[in-house]
């Protein structure tokens, strides 16, 4: 169906302040939405309390309000701007909760403003824990045994039925806010108390413990014609118990059989249909018991999420842009793929590479913070890398953190196997390196799995990296074959130099002399099946480059490294200038 003609203006709700668990990925999504809507000739009104964002730049909306994201403020904007519709699904949980408040207060009906992107019923079904649980069961899928509570007395009664440990999950929150694993009553009172306070509906879901299970996520989209696509499958390297935003993740999922993947896909599509998401995207999280293969559905977000931004970059499929088009009436088969220009958005992306995301933490800036990773998100950013195999992508991602000690190393061991395994039992930001050292010290796959519950396949990949490292160190000469194998598994020149007792420049000179240089492969959403008009690229070490030569003029942008203080001062100054400029040129005031 073509674009709706009854929508002339849209109010886009931003995500507000950048906080841990809800950060600049929603600025990315909201910016894409504003650009798409304006390109379609729709007047865009934007409200966001955070001026230091791209979306609040004067060029992205026809009217920008830098105001608190509250029902009262949004109602005042509605009175003044008279939008035909409100789009809340690209502004994170803040925007979604604001939209629900507008509905519950009768403001949407009062001013005849339509909610697009997700209907109220779909939001309730996806966000309300009890409703979603029943919906999953009706779809023939399984959920963890659970208990809904609204008071502390109900919480304690639920724990008595389920037994400890118990998972606490508040309704209508994101980033795992207020959630956690309670091992005793003291834990439960503390975590559930915070959860009841964090939930706008004072509701928490208590679940049986699924600690140590494998965790997966599917990014899906659906339109009004019931076209459904699975944009991307994502697998957490860490088991259940670590928030997906704090876990190393990999796309596509690597440890599922085809039968298991198709089962998750069928469940996901049935759920998105039953929830009623028909003009946008969502993500659904699953847990799989490694001992018997039992699958349960953890939760669903009926909106664009943090994972959606990751999936967009990983696949080249612009989820936020397409979600905005679906919201104004288009269907997936009518939207052309940005990269190929010939395949429609209903054409599911195919990956011929591996993507690894590694979270970045800043515990040094929060001395009182608990560095143990739990179901509450604590990362402040992430690095994503693409490679031809998992070991290559993993090593590239770890180095991309640009933090001392974040990469694998092969220095002299300072602790024995048992000490390293004991440390790795507790999820922390450095556990992957601790595990690598434990495997170097002689830990078996079985011992490593028992300590961490990380899937044996991922553990075996670290063993492979260690074996390649020892091969580099033991080689009588740094030959082309040795270098080629090292590069295929993601080793940097600096890592090779450390293993060989050489300088980084010496390794690079040997590599150049052997004409061993990176080539560039495409991210084109279709694994090369169709010609790519506007792909982007990742580096790897193979024989053939997929970059087409161009005679166009080119610009190289060099980033100057600054001190932390200089960065802070610069960002502060830019934020002030940005706000001032926005206020003077485009920001509307109530």
Closest to 458 (Cα-Cα) out of 488, 437, 432: 432
Point out which residues pair with 138 in neighbouring strands.
none
**H runs (alpha helix) in 67-119:** 71-81, 92-104, 107-110
Residue 339 near residue 350 (C-beta atoms within 8 A): no
Average pLDDT, the chain: 88
Is the distance from CB of 333 to CB of 224 less than 8 angstroms?
Answer: no
Total Cβ atoms within 10 A of residue 568 = 11
The pLDDT score that the predictor gives to residue 169 is 83
Q: Which of 497, 498, 490 is nearest to 468 (CA)?
A: 490
pLDDT band at 308 (very low <50, low <70, confident <90, very high): confident
Q: Tell me how far apart the alpha carbons of residues 396 and 313 are, in angstroms, rounded to a whole number.
A: 16
Q: Output the six-digit token pair for 542.
A: 């193979």
Residues 6+ apart with CB under 8 A from 542: 388, 519, 521
Whether residue 148 is predicted with pLDDT greater than 90 in this model: the reply is no
Q: Which helix (H) or strand (E) holds 221?
A: strand 214-222
Burial bucket for residue 273 (CB in 10 Å: 0-12, 13-18, 19+): middle
Compute the Cα dihedral for 272, 277, 279, 280 and give only its sign: negative
Please compute the mean of the pLDDT values over residues 257-267 and round it to a whole number.
93
| Structure confidence at residue 335 as a pLDDT band (50, 70, 90) | very high
Three-class secondary structure of residue 290 per DSSP? coil
DSSP 261: H
Is the pLDDT at 590 greater than 80? The verdict is no
User: How far does CA 589 lie from the centroid of its chain?
Assistant: 34
Rounded to 5 degrees, φ, ψ at 114 are: -90, 145
Query: In the beta sheet, which residues pair with residue 249?
Result: 236, 357
Sequence-distant (6+) residues with CB within 8 A of 6 are 84
Paired with 521 in beta bridges are 538
Which residue is associated with the tokens 């190929």?
A: 340
Show Cβ contacts of residue 511 under 8 Å, excluding neighbours closer than 6 positions. 483, 493, 517
pLDDT for 208 equals: 86
**Residue 18: pLDDT above 80?**
no
| Confidence check: pLDDT of 393 > 50 | yes
Query: What band does 174 get if pLDDT is binned at 50, 70 and 90?
Result: low
- Could you report the per-residue pLDDT of 59-74, keeping only the tens digit for each? 899 999 999 999 999 9
Contact in structure between 22 and 100 (CB atoms under 8 Å): no
Is the confidence at residue 226, as pLDDT, over 60? Answer: yes
Q: What is the pLDDT of residue 493?
A: 97
Query: Which pLDDT score is estimated for 541?
Result: 95
User: 574 pLDDT exceeds 70?
Assistant: no
Residue 425 confidence class, pLDDT cut points 50, 70, 90: very high
Residue 563: pLDDT band with limits 50, 70, 90:
very low
Q: Regarding predicted confidence, which is higher, 135 or 108? A: 108
What distance in Å separates the CA atoms of residue 221 and residue 103, rounded to the nearest whole number? 24
Binned at pLDDT 50, 70 and 90, residue 530 comes out as: confident
Q: Answer with the residue of higher pLDDT: 133 or 85.
A: 85
Q: In the structure, what pLDDT confidence band is assigned to residue 91 with cuts at 50, 70 and 90?
A: confident
């Amino acid at each position: 169906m073509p674009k709706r003609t009854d929508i002339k203006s849209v109010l886009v709700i931003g995500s507000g302040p950048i906080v841990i668990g809800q950060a600049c990925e929603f600025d990315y999504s909201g910016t894409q939405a504003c650009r798409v809507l304006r390109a379609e000739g729709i007047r865009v009104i934007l409200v966001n309390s955070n001026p230091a964002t791209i979306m609040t730049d004067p060029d992205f909306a026809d009217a920008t309000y830098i105001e608190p994201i509250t029902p009262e403020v949004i109602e005042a904007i509605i009175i003044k701007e008279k939008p035909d519709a409100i789009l809340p699904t690209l502004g994170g949980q803040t925007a979604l909760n604001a939209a629900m408040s507008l509905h519950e207060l009768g403001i949407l009906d009062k001013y005849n403003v339509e909610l697009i992107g997700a209907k109220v019923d779909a939001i309730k079904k996806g966000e309300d824990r009890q409703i979603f649980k029943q919906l999953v069961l009706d779809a023939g899928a399984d959920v963890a045994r659970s208990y809904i509570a609204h008071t502390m007395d109900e919480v304690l009664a639920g724990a008595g039925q389920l037994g400890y440990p118990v998972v606490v999950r508040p309704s209508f929150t994101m980033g795992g806010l207020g959630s956690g694993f309670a091992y005793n009553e003291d834990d439960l009172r503390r975590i559930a108390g915070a959860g009841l306070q964090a939930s706008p509906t004072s509701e928490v879901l208590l679940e049986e413990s699924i600690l140590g299970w494998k965790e997966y996520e599917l990014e899906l989209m659906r339109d009004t014609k019931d076209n459904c696509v699975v944009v991307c499958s994502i697998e957490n390297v860490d088991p259940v118990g670590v928030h997906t935003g704090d876990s190393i993740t990999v796309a596509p999922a690597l440890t599922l059989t085809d039968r298991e993947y198709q089962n998750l896909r069928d469940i996901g599509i049935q759920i998105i249909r039953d929830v009623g998401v028909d003009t946008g995207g969502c993500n659904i999280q699953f847990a799989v018991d490694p001992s018997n293969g039992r699958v349960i559905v953890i939760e669903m977000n009926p909106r664009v999420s943090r994972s959606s931004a990751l999936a967009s970059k990983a696949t080249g499929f612009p989820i936020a842009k397409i979600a905005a088009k679906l919201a104004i009436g288009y269907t997936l088969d009518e939207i052309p793929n940005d990269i190929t220009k010939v395949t429609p958005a209903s054409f599911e992306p195919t990956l011929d590479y591996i993507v690894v995301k590694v979270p970045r933490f800043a515990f040094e800036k929060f001395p009182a913070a608990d560095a143990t990773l739990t179901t509450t998100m604590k990362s402040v950013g992430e690095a994503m890398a693409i490679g031809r195999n998992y070991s290559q992508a993993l090593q590239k991602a770890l180095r991309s953190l640009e933090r001392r000690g974040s990469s694998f190393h092969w220095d002299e061991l300072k602790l024995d196997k048992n000490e390293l395994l004991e440390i790795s039992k507790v999820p922390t930001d450095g556990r992957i390196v601790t595990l690598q050292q434990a495997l170097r010290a002689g830990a078996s796959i079985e011992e490593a799995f028992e300590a961490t519950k990380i899937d044996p396949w991922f553990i075996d990949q670290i063993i492979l990296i260690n074996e390649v490292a020892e091969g580099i160190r033991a080689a009588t000469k740094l030959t082309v074959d040795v270098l080629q194998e090292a590069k295929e598994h993601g080793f940097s020149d600096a890592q090779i130099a450390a293993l060989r007792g050489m300088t980084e420049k010496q390794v690079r000179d040997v590599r150049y002399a052997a004409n061993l240089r990176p080539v560039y492969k495409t991210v084109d959403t279709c694994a090369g099946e169709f010609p790519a008009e506007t792909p982007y690229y990742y580096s790897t070490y193979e024989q053939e480059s997929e970059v087409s030569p161009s005679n166009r003029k080119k610009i190289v942008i060099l980033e100057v490294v600054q001190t932390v203080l200089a960065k802070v001062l610069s960002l502060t100054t830019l934020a002030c200038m940005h706000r001032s400029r926005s206020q003077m040129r485009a920001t509307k005031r109530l």
